[in-house]
A and B are shown apart, each in its own frame.
Chain A
Amino acid sequence: MKRGSVSKNLVLLALFVVGLASVVGAQTLLGSGATFPAPAYTKMFDEYYKLTGIKVNYQGIGSSGGLKNIQDRVVDFGGSDSFIKDADFSKYTAPVVHIPTVIGAVVVTYNLPGNPKLRLTGDVVADIYLGKITKWNDKAIAALNPDVKLPNLAIMPVYRSDGSGTTFNFTAYLSAVSDEWKSKVGNANSVSWPTGQGAAQNAGVAGVVKQTQGTVGYVELAYANQNSMAVAAIKNSSGMWVDPSLDSISAAAAGAFPADTRILLVNTDAKEGYPISALTWIIVYREQNYGNRSREQAEQLAKLLWWMIHDGQKYVTALDYATLPPPAVKAAEAIVKSITYNGQALIK
């Protein structure tokens, strides 16, 4: 081989690389974070692409990952289903806002022979994840399910190995109903699990539960329904047995919304409300002129958010997410309008 041809090929390749990079425009947005709303988001963004040609790349890496990526400013928006606590705002070098997008349910799903329908209380779920209830035919479970023939099978709890808003809402509920849980494990995006197997993302937990008999896990309702997995009815604070469903999620979200929409829905006192319902947010910097972001990019982001809280909502109910109730939409509108570029509002 001649030296000339090697270097010529290299030059051609380099030119090709540079050429492609310049030809390809920036009709893209990048987001990362919560996997709780990922089925809804990927559906919305697929529709948005057909509608506008704008490719919104959303990587479900867990809520903590989304928040960290926003802190590091390596994405346009982060997804999280745990809101940022007041004390944590200092981790962000500029003010961030929460835009609520959809409402879902953290469901307790399991894999048992015959796929029986189970009823569980928060206490029992807490005891399972504390490692105190280890068999499916434990009398605590049997007492709640007198009609079900429970197998003599070890319970294998599955939890999220990544930092997760789903975990946050799940442990917030368990902390609300079980003092022992509150003192021993607590409530956070990732906790120190006394027992069980870790799996990455909602999809990972659903994947392990679907493939392993005897497991129990917590995932967003859409993952369970898309894969025909069994889901437990949970006793809510009014003493009602509630299945997670569009109606029971909506009922849990029917109350008032604070202006910044930072609100937990777990352990609702709504009579028909599902007790582990959760709101999920997109997190963006209020002032969009940072790094080397263009105005066009900021506008695209604001338009996308506006679309998600309005027209985008019609795609989520088919996936068993509840749409935002009117007061939440109203609060969200005000928040999207507060996003600026060089101090100027992007949506008027």
Chain B
Amino acid sequence: MNDRRFNALLGFAALVIVFIFAGFLFTLVVQSLPAVKQEGAAFLYGSEWNPVTTRFGALPFIIGTVMTSAIALIIAIPLSLSAGIVMGEYVNSSWVRSVLNTLINVLASIPSVVFGLWGIEVVIPLVRNLAMLVGAPPYGAGILSASLVLAIMIIPYMSSMTREALMNVPAGLREGAFALGLTKQEVVTGIALPFAKKSIFAGILLSLGRALGETMAVTMLIGNATRIPTSLFSLGNTLASVIASQFNEAASDVHRAAMMALALILLIITMIAGWFGRTMMSKGTGAYGK
């Protein structure tokens, strides 16, 4: 062993990582070609997904993915921002803070499939009762159930990002504001939040990335229907859930290729969300001359 060989070894490992990623893209692109050739751009906006006639349009799943993630965000944002603000601004006792931190970490570490299990046994019956109240078909499963559980799953992530963003606000700013006689609320909404808003927004985008790609809990709760969802109580599918339930069986070559194309779309969507999130994040932390 010498320095040259050592460096070569490191370079090799780095190259492997890059190849894994390139390989993912390559595999997905090549294997989705038959479906893309057959459907063309209609693969993106076609609303029919029919293995019998081998027509494959991904629109129902794209809509399902966007709908569940959007609803999950709408539910999760107020809860997470509040929790983040409380942890970052209001808790002074280090004991309470560490308990809260541990709790959030615990929530973050619960596996997706356990959330799915909890959703089936707890959320679905609740949503079923709600559906009966409003006169919708009381399946229980569907967009709303999936979105609710998705929201709970991203809360820990989003709230700890919010907390961190707030804690990065320079102490001097805060102390100065208090010295001027501002109330806590004025400091938080007038100074800390505006200062941290880019990082918080980045946290929301990164959480969105998670929600878009979340598979198991959604598959277990969304009702697996290949139709375009039209209401909160509609059954549907996301890109990830339809892959989980149909990949291992695709009857025709085109069907199989269509599954690969769905995986490719999913990968691209999550990559974009992640990329935006990270760019935003570096801008956010860069704001204070770091």
| A39 within 8 Å of B (CB atoms) | no
With a cutoff of 8 Å between Cβ atoms, the chain B residues found around residue A61 in the complex are 248-249
| B46 within 8 Å of A (CB atoms) | no
Q: Is the CB–CB distance between A163 and B246 below 8 Å?
A: yes
Distance between Cα atoms of A199 and B249 in the complex (Å): 15
Q: Is the CB–CB distance between A198 and B224 below 8 Å?
A: yes
Which of the residues A67, A189, A200, A212 comes within 8 Å of B139, measured between beta carbons? A212
With a cutoff of 8 Å between Cβ atoms, the chain A residues found around residue B235 in the complex are 196-198
With a cutoff of 8 Å between Cβ atoms, the chain B residues found around residue A191 in the complex are 50-52
With a cutoff of 8 Å between Cβ atoms, the chain A residues found around residue B107 in the complex are none
Closest residue of chain B to A65 (Cβ to Cβ) is B249
Which of the residues A65, A190, A196, A213 comes within 8 Å of B248, measured between beta carbons? A65
Which of the residues A63, A69, A199 comes within 8 Å of B224, measured between beta carbons? A199
Within residues 176 to 218 of chain A, which ones have a CB less than 8 A from any CB in chain B? 185-186, 188-193, 196-200, 208, 211-215
| A322 within 8 Å of B (CB atoms) | no
| A154 within 8 Å of B (CB atoms) | yes
Distance between Cα atoms of A180 and B50 in the complex (Å): 17
Within residues 234 to 262 of chain B, which ones have a CB less than 8 A from any CB in chain A? 235, 237, 245-246, 248-251, 256
Q: Is the CB–CB distance between B246 and A161 below 8 Å?
A: yes
Choose among B49, B51, B245, B256 the residue with the greatest number of A CB atoms under 10 Å from its CB.
B245
Q: Is the CB–CB distance between A68 and B250 below 8 Å?
A: yes
| A162 within 8 Å of B (CB atoms) | yes
| B141 within 8 Å of A (CB atoms) | yes
Distance between Cα atoms of A188 and B224 in the complex (Å): 18
Q: Is the CB–CB distance between B225 and A197 below 8 Å?
A: yes
| B207 within 8 Å of A (CB atoms) | no
With a cutoff of 8 Å between Cβ atoms, the chain B residues found around residue A215 in the complex are 139
| B138 within 8 Å of A (CB atoms) | yes
| B278 within 8 Å of A (CB atoms) | no
Q: Is the CB–CB distance between B249 and A197 below 8 Å?
A: no
| Closest beta carbon of chain B to A118's beta carbon, Å | 20
Closest residue of chain B to A207 (Cβ to Cβ) is B120
Within residues 175 to 228 of chain B, which ones have a CB less than 8 A from any CB in chain A? 223-226
Choose among B140, B225, B245, B251 the residue with the greatest number of A CB atoms under 10 Å from its CB.
B251
Q: Is the CB–CB distance between B251 and A192 below 8 Å?
A: no
With a cutoff of 8 Å between Cβ atoms, the chain A residues found around residue B124 in the complex are 211
Distance between Cα atoms of A326 and B51 in the complex (Å): 37
Closest residue of chain A to B131 (Cβ to Cβ) is A154
With a cutoff of 8 Å between Cβ atoms, the chain A residues found around residue B225 in the complex are 193, 196-198
Distance between Cα atoms of A208 and B249 in the complex (Å): 21
Instruction: Place the interface of chain B in its size category.
Output: 20 to 34
Distance between Cα atoms of A208 and B128 in the complex (Å): 12
Which of the residues B137, B223, B256 comes within 8 Å of A198, measured between beta carbons? B223
Instruction: Place the interface of chain A in its size category.
Output: 20 to 34
Question: Interface majority SS on B: helix, strand, loop or mixed?
Answer: loop
Closest residue of chain A to B251 (Cβ to Cβ) is A64
With a cutoff of 8 Å between Cβ atoms, the chain B residues found around residue A161 in the complex are 224, 245-246
| A284 within 8 Å of B (CB atoms) | no
| B164 within 8 Å of A (CB atoms) | no
Q: Is the CB–CB distance between A198 and B245 below 8 Å?
A: yes
Q: Is the CB–CB distance between A154 and B52 below 8 Å?
A: no
Q: Is the CB–CB distance between B250 and A156 below 8 Å?
A: no
Within residues 134 to 193 of chain A, which ones have a CB less than 8 A from any CB in chain B? 154, 156, 161-163, 185-186, 188-193
| Closest beta carbon of chain A to B221's beta carbon, Å | 11
Q: Are A189 and B224 CB-contacts (below 8 A) given A163-B51, A214-B138?
A: no
Within residues 68 to 114 of chain A, which ones have a CB less than 8 A from any CB in chain B? 68-69
**A-facing mask of B20-60, CB < 8 A → 1, else 0?**
00000000000000000000000000001111110000000
Which of the residues B224, B245, B246, B250 comes within 8 Å of A197, measured between beta carbons? B224
**A-facing mask of B47-89, CB < 8 A → 1, else 0?**
0111111000000000000000000000000000000000000
Distance between Cα atoms of A137 and B51 in the complex (Å): 33
Q: Are A163 and B251 CB-contacts (below 8 A) given A197-B235, A199-B224, A212-B128?
A: yes
Closest residue of chain A to B226 (Cβ to Cβ) is A192
Distance between Cα atoms of A212 and B140 in the complex (Å): 8
Distance between Cα atoms of A69 and B245 in the complex (Å): 15
Q: Is the CB–CB distance between B251 and A68 below 8 Å?
A: yes
| A62 within 8 Å of B (CB atoms) | yes
With a cutoff of 8 Å between Cβ atoms, the chain B residues found around residue A163 in the complex are 51, 246, 249-251
With a cutoff of 8 Å between Cβ atoms, the chain B residues found around residue A185 in the complex are 52
With a cutoff of 8 Å between Cβ atoms, the chain B residues found around residue A188 in the complex are 51-52, 251
Q: Are A186 and B138 CB-contacts (below 8 A) given A64-B250, A64-B251, A68-B249?
A: no
**B-facing mask of A278-294, CB < 8 A → 1, else 0?**
00000000000000000
Distance between Cα atoms of A93 and B54 in the complex (Å): 22
| Closest beta carbon of chain B to A115's beta carbon, Å | 18
| Closest beta carbon of chain B to A138's beta carbon, Å | 15
The 3 closest A-B pairs by CB, nearest first: A198-B224, A64-B249, A161-B224
Residues on A facing B (Cβ under 8 Å) = 61-65, 67-69, 154, 156, 161-163, 185-186, 188-193, 196-200, 208, 211-215
Residues on B facing A (Cβ under 8 Å) = 48-53, 124, 128, 137-141, 223-226, 235, 237, 245-246, 248-251, 256
Beyond the given A61-B248, A61-B249, A193-B225, please list 20 additional residue pairs across the A-B interface where CB-CB is below 8 A.
Answer: A62-B249, A64-B250, A68-B248, A68-B256, A154-B137, A161-B246, A162-B248, A163-B51, A163-B250, A163-B251, A188-B51, A188-B52, A190-B251, A191-B52, A192-B53, A193-B226, A196-B225, A198-B245, A200-B224, A208-B141
